Structure 1
Amino acid sequence: PGRFADSAAQMQAGKVKRAFGVPANTTLAVVATNAAFSKVQVTKVAQMGHLGLARVLEPVHTTLDGDVVFALATGKVEADLNTVGMVGAACVAEAVLRGARSARGLGGVPAARDLAGEAGPRATDAEA
């Protein structure tokens, strides 16, 4: 009691044949920077931002969801593309964890804080 199903394990065991009801398992993220990047570079930042989703969501990018990362750059300062992408991925991961920790259950589906008490799960529990 008090635990979430391991969605990836359930899928691998053949216990999940279709989407989990209405397709509502989408995670949206935005990586915004003040760097002066071209369209191609901003696309790379978005691609790297997907690493943040993969670090904290399993499964991610299945046919059951619409996980996506958008990126934008305001063009104010020079910056290293790889550094911005790496930091962006770390920020996406942290944002997803914060969202999961602060969410409340809805429609009979419990959230992490509902299972761990009002204080929510410890950081180590959510990241494990």
Structure 2
Amino acid sequence: MARTRAFLFAALATPAALLAAPVVAQASLTMLDTLTHGGWEVRSRDGGSVRKICVRTGRELIQLRHPDSTCNRFVVENSANETTVQYTCRGNGYGRTHIRKESDTLVQIDSQGIAGGKPFQFTAEARRTGGCD
């Protein structure tokens, strides 16, 4: 009976521990935390317009198609040189963004999802240009 209770407790506790782990892991985005803060230009690979943004935390690069939305984020990959984040913006779509760091002032971005009811997919290069305007 005691062995059965111990097994049952372990079986129930393990999923709870696994569910709690991602919340802790999402607090720090290793690569984004190392980017140089300031003004950045994001250039789409398809020759589209250049977008200027102010990078204060690096997280501004995650939701380029949902910049003003409050979204739930789930960190898929978090390493020294790459970050992948999947996010859902309730009532406003979702996205998945992969950012690869070349230096503290240059990153490559791949993102796809739904914004404004329409699908999007883009690749871009983001480069620090100076201070925020």
TM-score under structure 1 length normalisation: 0.24
Judging by fraction of residues, say which structure has more strand. 2
Which structure would you say has the larger RCO, counting Cα contacts within 8 Å and 6 or more residues apart? Answer: 1
Structure with greater helix share of residues: 1
Larger-gyration structure (1/2): 2
TM-score w.r.t. the length of structure 2 is: 0.23
